[in-house]
Amino acid sequence: MPYYDYKCERCEEQFEYNVSYEDRDQSRECPECGGELDRMICSPKICYDSFTVTGKKPTDGFRDRLREIKKTHRNNNFEHLI
């Protein structure tokens, strides 16, 4: 289920809820003050972490290969790969 961000009209606290697509427009109550929550428009939260997705960490051989590619292509920016 996707996460949606909400903001309280009264106290302006922000909250994130894991809500089904069908229930995303249901009215929600602020847990802090009881005010009504408005759903905010936010950028998607897309993250990729190979360990959490697959349960496996990259092997040393994989890391070594990335370092080799980086050395071969020094003019390119491969910092995000290591």
For residue range 5-36, what is the model confidence (pLDDT) as tens digits?
889 999 988 888 888 888 878 888 898 899 99
Pair of tokens at residue 36: 């009504």
Q: Where are the beta strands (DSSP E) in 14-69?
A: 14-18, 28-29, 36-39
Q: Let me know: does 33 contact 24? Beta carbons within 8 Å.
A: no
From the centroid of its chain, how far is CA 36?
25
pTM: 0.48
Identity at 19, one-letter amino acid code = V
What are residue 15's DSSP bridge partners?
A: 6
- Extents of the domains making up the chain: 3-39, 50-81
